[in-house]
Amino acid sequence: MTRIDGRQLGADLALDTDVAIVGSGPAGASAAREAARLGARVVVVESGPWFDPAEFPASAFAAMGSMYRAMGASVVVGSAPIPYLQGRMIGGSSPINGAICWRLPRDVYDEWIARDAALGEAVPWHVLSAATDEIEARIGVTPTVPAIAGAKNLLMARGAEALGIEHRPIRRNVRGCDGLGLCLQGCPRGRKQSADVTLLADALAHDATVVSSVEAMSITVRRGRATELVGRAACGRCVTVRATRAVIVAASAVQTPVLLLRSKLTHGPVGENFQAHPGVSMAGRFPEPVRMWEGATQGHEVIGLRSEGLKFEALGFGLSILATRLRGVGSKLAAEIAEMDHWLDWGAAVRATARGRVRCVRGRPLVTYSSTRDDIRKFRRGLRVLGEMMLAAGADEVSPGVNGFADRVTGVAELDRLEQSGPGRASAFTVAMTHMFGTCRMGSDPASNVVDPHFRHHKVDGLYVADSSVFPSNIGVNPQVPIMAMAALCARRAVGASVVGSVIGRGR
């Protein structure tokens, strides 16, 4: 097992390997695991540091400062600024996400194939399903049990049931969860089966090398082939990784196109077709204490409106973040803080139609994105349903958090007015973004896609992309497991087509 800390290098570092991988999150860890199990020498380069569970910060704001890219303050620029969150640590965002696990929906896959039949030939549904089965078994995906759900999750079930909307406990990658509600800052007891402690650990067990705290700065191309990565360590030293077989970029739908653009690899729509799941949220006050910071961070979801592009989730985070939804100053604010244990927050993730772009400006990402009218309509629809569910579950009042609309709402008629005639501008809504896709889209046409249906760059041999930037569209559900499954298939292609599928089901 080889772990190299880029903060502690005393000299420049040069490594030789078969496969060099940029990123250690769900995509990079899965690709590393698959390539190493197939016998390839693997080096993973990650810009963030290692964290052990004992090192996870106790506060949400401290976690953002040390474990999130740009201290959790990255923002897309457009009709309204929208913050987006990305982890910057070994495991990527997986140690600090809500542990929500979904398989790629078959209807989304069918949309992809309808757009480009070659995708179905290169990534057959049964092969993708088998890879997904193996991933889910490895990371321990199971439904949230009532004993650790907490009030915020059980109340969502009550509200959805009262309205007759399909709902279910969230399937999560955890083992022995204690319901501490600390997923977004890292589980201090190590219960989350994130990419670092599962897939990346498997890669290390198969002799992979992981280099942390090293930012990949460029990809070297010689005679039309990707041959090495050049990175800068946190200590300032240069790190070079020479790869004889493949370079796999798995740095996210934001960081991957930036790396390609920094490397002057501009073929195809690099950075274009940026898609996401922007989310709105509703706060609600209940007569009994609900203590939303306790219980599974995100343990219940409402899926009955997925065909409308809406999926609802219970939310869980610390007191400091919940306090931002409170109103007033002085004694009024103090009174609300005293009753914070009566408030909870639920969210609606939107399968948005907007498309943005990632550019590289002075070596860093600039993301531009503007919500469409249809997306804003979904914001209003999502808030209306969230409010109805809260009131049906027993809330006294709800807070939509919409500028230009009532601060507090107590009846369905007001929620209906919000949906039908609420604000039509994106800037009126409190929106956050977590899932991003499409900036190095895969497809058979080199003119309109960056990589081919086998994850290979259309113009550069030996260069592959494994993360959600290759997805032809956003998928409307949490993408962690589909990213892992697709990355495993990418690694098989990168190591050699003759071994594709050879490991499925063998448990190696």
Which residues are known to be catalytic?
A: 435
Q: List, in order, residues 6 or more apart from 228 with CB less than 8 Å away.
A: 20, 219, 220, 240, 241, 242, 243, 247
Half-sphere exposure of residue 370: CA atoms within 13 angstroms, side-chain side:
6
Q: List, in order, residues 6 or more apart from 14 with CB less than 8 Å away.
A: 239, 240, 241, 242
3-state secondary structure of 82: strand
Secondary structure letter of residue 290 according to DSSP: -
Q: What are phi and psi of 93, to 5 degrees?
A: -85, -10
Q: What is the C-alpha R_g of the chain?
A: 22
- In this structure, the strands spanning 42-45 and 209-212 are parallel
> What letter represents residue 341's amino acid?
D
CA 249 to chain centre: 16
Read off the tokens for 176: 């022995």
CA 2 to chain centre: 27
381, containing H or E segment: helix 373-392
Q: List, in order, residues 6 or more apart from 142 with CB less than 8 Å away.
A: 171, 172, 174
Nearest alpha-carbon partner for 472 in 488, 446, 491, 453: 453
Q: How many CB atoms lie within 10 A of CB 506?
A: 8
Report d(CA 367, CA 87) in Å as an integer.
Answer: 17
Half-sphere exposure of residue 215: CA atoms within 13 angstroms, side-chain side:
13
Report d(CA 220, CA 247) in Å as an integer.
Answer: 10
Report d(CA 139, CA 192) in Å as an integer.
Answer: 9
CA 424 to chain centre: 28
Region at 129 (left for phi over 0; alpha for psi -120 to 50; beta for the rest):
alpha
Nearest alpha-carbon partner for 464 in 260, 216, 211: 260
CB of 442 closer than 8 Å to CB of 451: yes
Read off the tokens for 429: 């809504």
Nearest alpha-carbon partner for 140 in 88, 94, 107, 89: 94
Nearest alpha-carbon partner for 269 in 372, 356, 363: 356
End-to-end CA distance of the chain: 17
Report d(CA 385, CA 399) in Å as an integer.
Answer: 13
